[in-house]
Amino acid sequence: MSEPIRVLVTGAAGQIAYSLLYSIGNGSVFGKDQPIILVLLDITPMMGVLDGVLMELQDCALPLLKDVIATDKEDVAFKDLDVAILVGSMPRREGMERKDLLKANVKIFKSQGAALDKYAKKSVKVIVVGNPANTNCLTASKSAPSIPKENFSCLTRLDHNRAKAQIALKLGVTANDVKNVIIWGNHSSTQYPDVNHAKVKLQGKEVGVYEALKDDSWLKGEFVTTVQQRGAAVIKARKLSSAMSAAKAICDHVRDIWFGTPEGEFVSMGVISDGNSYGVPDDLLYSFPVVIKFKSLICIIFKQNKTWKFVEGLPINDFSREKMDLTAKELTEEKESAFEFLSSA
């Protein structure tokens, strides 16, 4: 057995965490031989609910869970972390302007970024889920200057999985038969789900999605809007936001960070845009296609220090360019608003 790793989940009394924690504890994310110390953070009024979650995790009798710590204190929660999954955020309330939502979340993620900087390992991997995820992630990173920017990522894997699923449903195959879809940009309704480079396995042979579907108008129209608006559609039907699918996407995202991406496949992840070759401005937290590999032979031997890299050299057509620029513009505006609040928070 390896040494235990410390994994934090914030918003741990919420519905996404409730769908997520069992998968972390049973080895589905970090492997069946990796013991875990699971740290659960939530706000003080939720501590009663969190005690119930703690009891349930104990009652699961999971052999990999070496300890479970429930707390409302950042100095306890962020100490010596290997992985931080920041699910908790201020939800948008009725009548709330987007700038008010940004302001409330800047305060939360500035504080959590500072706690990461002060208490966590410098090698910590930080995954931001709480919305607006891209800008919250950038805020946390800016507030943790001693932790490499590349260690911060935000969740667009749910959008990626939604895109895969829509293509699979249309073609009558499983989602596993579809690979290399891309989510560009913001985890918002301006995101751009792109299947120009995606492949699908049909009758044992890999073909391009455009070639397989032969329905360009659907791929440029209904498919894009369905993925962009899927979260709102779930809320309308369920009267609650996505939880089970969000938890599954978090597991996929973190597992790829931990173990790397399969050969020949890339995934979507919100990462720092610095040095990209797709004309996206630097210093944005923007979703790109990435691969995750070991840095060197020594890292392979010791099974550590995987890093993400942009997938380079994908041709971008005019339709894609326009969509990619639109979501970059929204992220730039979000960033500017957030940074105004950040300097005064």
Which residues are tagged catalytic? Answer: 187
Q: How many other C-beta atoms lie within 10 A of the C-beta of residue 161?
A: 23
Q: What is the DSSP letter of 338?
A: H
Residue 329: Cβ-neighbour burial (10 angstroms; 0-12, 13-18, 19+): middle
Nearest CA among 147, 134, 199 for reference residue 173: 199
DSSP output for 142-167? HT-TTS-GGGEEE--HHHHHHHHHHH
Q: Which helix (H) or strand (E) holds 76?
A: helix 74-77
Omega of the bond leading into 132 within 30 degrees of 0 (cis): yes
Nearest CA among 234, 235, 230 for reference residue 161: 230
Label residues 257-277 b or e (16+ Cβ within 10 Å = b): bbebbeeeebbbbbbbbeebe
Q: Order the strands of the 178-179 sheet from edge to edge.
A: 178-179, 199-202, 205-208
Specify the amino acid at residue 340: E
Structure tokens at 135: 């800008």
